Amino acid sequence: MFKVKVYVTLRESVLDPQGTAVKNSLSKMGYEGVEDVRIGKYMELMIEDKGQDLESAVKDMCGRLLSNPVIEDYRYEIEECVVS
């Protein structure tokens, strides 16, 4: 079994109104020096080892559904895990 951790973030060129609202809130709470907040998504996929080309399957999933390449970037980590 593999655990795939997928991180989806907004492209740098894209404004993040949610991140801006959170940044402003942190400033109001008194935290100094918070210059930028960007909000993204974190997903965990459990994938059974069927001898498939996991790497290319994950890339495919990320490009087609898990992220929108027009406004988002993604990265992922694949971990092998033992299921008891």
Partner 1 sequence: MKFAVIVFPGSNCDVDMYHAIKDELKEEAEYVWHDSESLEGFDGILLPGGFSFGDYLRTGSIARFSPVMKEVEKAAKAGKPVFGVCNGFQVLLEAGLLPGAMHRNESLKFICKNVSLKVENNETMFTSAYDKNEIISIPVAHGEGNYYCDEETLARLEENGQIVFTYHGENPNGSVKDIAGIMNEKGNVLGMMPHPERAVDPLLGGADGLKLFKSILKQWRESHAVKA
Could you report how far apart the first and last alpha carbons of the chain are, in Å?
Answer: 11
| 52 scored as a contact of partner 1 (CB under 8 A) | no
Choices 8-16, 24-32, 53-61, 75-83 (CB under 8 A): range interacting with partner 1: 8-16
| 15 scored as a contact of partner 1 (CB under 8 A) | yes
43 HSE (CA, 13 A, CB side): 16
Which member of 29, 65, 82, 83 binds partner 1 (CB under 8 A)?
A: 65
Neighbouring residues of 7: CB distance < 8 A, sequence distance ≥ 6: 40, 41, 42, 74, 75, 76
Give the footprint of partner 1 on this chain (CB under 8 A): 10, 13-15, 17-18, 21, 65-66, 68, 70-71
